[in-house]
Structure 1
Amino acid sequence: MTTTRLVVWRHGNTDWNAAGRVQGQTDVPLNALGEQQAVDAAELLVRLRPGALFSSDLRRAADTAAALAALTGLSVRRDERLRERHFGAWQGLTMAEVAETRPEEHAAWKAGADVVGGGVETLDDLAKRVGDALQAAVDAVPAGGTVVVATHGGAARHGAGHLLGWPREQLRTLRALQNCHWTELSYDDVRGWQLAAYNVGPFADRPVPSSL
């Protein structure tokens, strides 16, 4: 039985993460902390002997992937489907500002509703978009290897959930991925997709930041 490993890796820290701002698909770069996190995480991930490396086309994810590319010699294949959830009018705001200025939308988001309003992408659309990109990454390489995909917090959670066939209510029980942590999935023809590990990374003692 041939088993393929998929590592879904969240990007490093940014100034907007640090300030609690909703990033969504705004192209915010890594800060100095995020760059170091990417290097530290890559030193662990290289031990998994990845055979392919994919990334969101947003800089914070692509530059995170580049840290692993530097150790493996792999090229980074970018896919815009791996972008974070689009947060429409919320992008650039803190969650406190969203709650104050768009209270109904904020309440719907907090309750885990699929449709929030304000131009925010639905969770179903996010899950399918990212899940399709993850599946395409795995399908693009021979079975039995390790594929690493650098993406974003919400994208990682809902994309992996799409592959696993988990409902949104189940995904809400998972804590947000920390910066530069990852989810590991495995796939074989008998058992299909399975969750092997969640929120793995080198900074276990640090607080969990916003996944947006």
Structure 2
Amino acid sequence: MVGMATFSTSGNDAQHPGYLVLLRHGQTAWSVSGQHTGRTDIPLTAVGQGQAVAAGARIRREFPEGFAEGRVFSSPLRRARQTAQYAGFAGAATCPGIAEWDYGRAEGRTRTQISEAWQGDWDLWRDGTQVLGHEYEGEHDELLPSGETVRVRNTAGEALDEVAARARGVVEDVLPVIEGGESVLLVAHAHILRILTTQWLGVDPHVAKLLRLDTAHFSVLSLYKGDRVIDHWNV
């Protein structure tokens, strides 16, 4: 189990399988600036809070029956937990398996900044963070536009295959619940949710680069004639 705890089916005899709903967190200061935001515990902006409220309303229109108790999970990071709260899912349980990609040496830096320092056209999906030297490692405090200071830690980080394995574990946990006719909501982050989608589909995790997922937008994965498919995307 990948941090899911209580993912037992309830004996639901529904004819149709459930849905796996993926909600990305709302806007943060770094989603605006383009800084890689992995494990830095950054909060939502006021705009992000409003986005989360609107996203919750859209999800309830799509799923008016809601989600059963114990079927809503959030990343442990603050921006995801806040999104769940503002979206109206304050009872979300924490799921470490859907924490964002640990960008390690790229954390807190933009692609442009890294490319300039690396002296090459660095691409996260192609190159990963391990290609960056140990000189990129360390810790520092960074001041947000709101006046809050956050701690940024640059470590070795995770390789894409490691993130995909983590996401695959979550898929394996939720699949029996979906097959049993119940729907599950995961509130998390752009990259982990896109990578999780590739693992739901059974394709190479690099395909996640092609799946755009905007702040406070949700996507729906489902089962169709026995296949795992994308039902809706970036709603």
**Band the TM-score falls in, shorter-chain normalisation:** 0.7 to 0.9
- 1:68 deviates by 3.3
Corresponding residue for 1:34? Answer: 48
Residue in structure 2 matching 1:179, options 205, 210, 215:
215
Question: Structure 1 stretches of 5 or more lacking a match?
Answer: 201-212
- 1:84 deviates by 0.9
Residue in structure 2 matching 1:91, options 101, 107, 111:
107
The answer to whether the Cα contact below 8 Å between 1:69 and 1:76 also exists between their aligned partners in 2 is no
Q: Structure 2: which amino acid aligns with 1:85?
A: W
1: CA distance between counterparts of 2:23 and 2:85? 12
TM-score between both structures, scaled by the size of structure 1: 0.81
Q: 2:233 aligns to what SS in structure 1?
A: strand
2: CA distance between counterparts of 1:138 and 1:66? 25
Deviation per residue, 1:68-99 (Å, 9 max, x gap): 345xxx62110112111111121111222111
Give the fraction of aligned pairs with identical amino acids, expressed as a percent: 27
1: CA distance between counterparts of 2:114 and 2:129? 16
Matches within 5 A, 1:1-212: 1-47=15-61, 48=63, 49-51=66-68, 52-70=71-89, 75-103=91-119, 107-109=122-124, 112-113=126-127, 116-118=130-132, 119-139=156-176, 143-174=180-211, 176-187=212-223, 191-200=226-235
The answer to whether the Cα contact below 8 Å between 1:85 and 1:154 also exists between their aligned partners in 2 is yes
Deviation per residue, 1:143-181 (Å, 9 max, x gap): 21221100100001001111210123533333x210011
CA RMSD of aligned residues (A): 2.3
Larger radius of gyration: 2
1: CA distance between counterparts of 2:19 and 2:189? 19
TM-score between both structures, scaled by the size of structure 2: 0.73
2: CA distance between counterparts of 1:114 and 1:93? 14
The answer to whether the Cα contact below 8 Å between 1:30 and 1:60 also exists between their aligned partners in 2 is yes
Question: Structure 2 stretches of 5 or more lacking a match?
Answer: 1-14, 133-155
CA pair 140-31 structure 1, distance change in 2 beyond 3 A: same
The answer to whether the Cα contact below 8 Å between 2:191 and 2:208 also exists between their aligned partners in 1 is no
Corresponding residue for 2:152? Answer: none
CA pair 39-136 structure 1, distance change in 2 beyond 3 A: same
- 1:40 deviates by 0.3
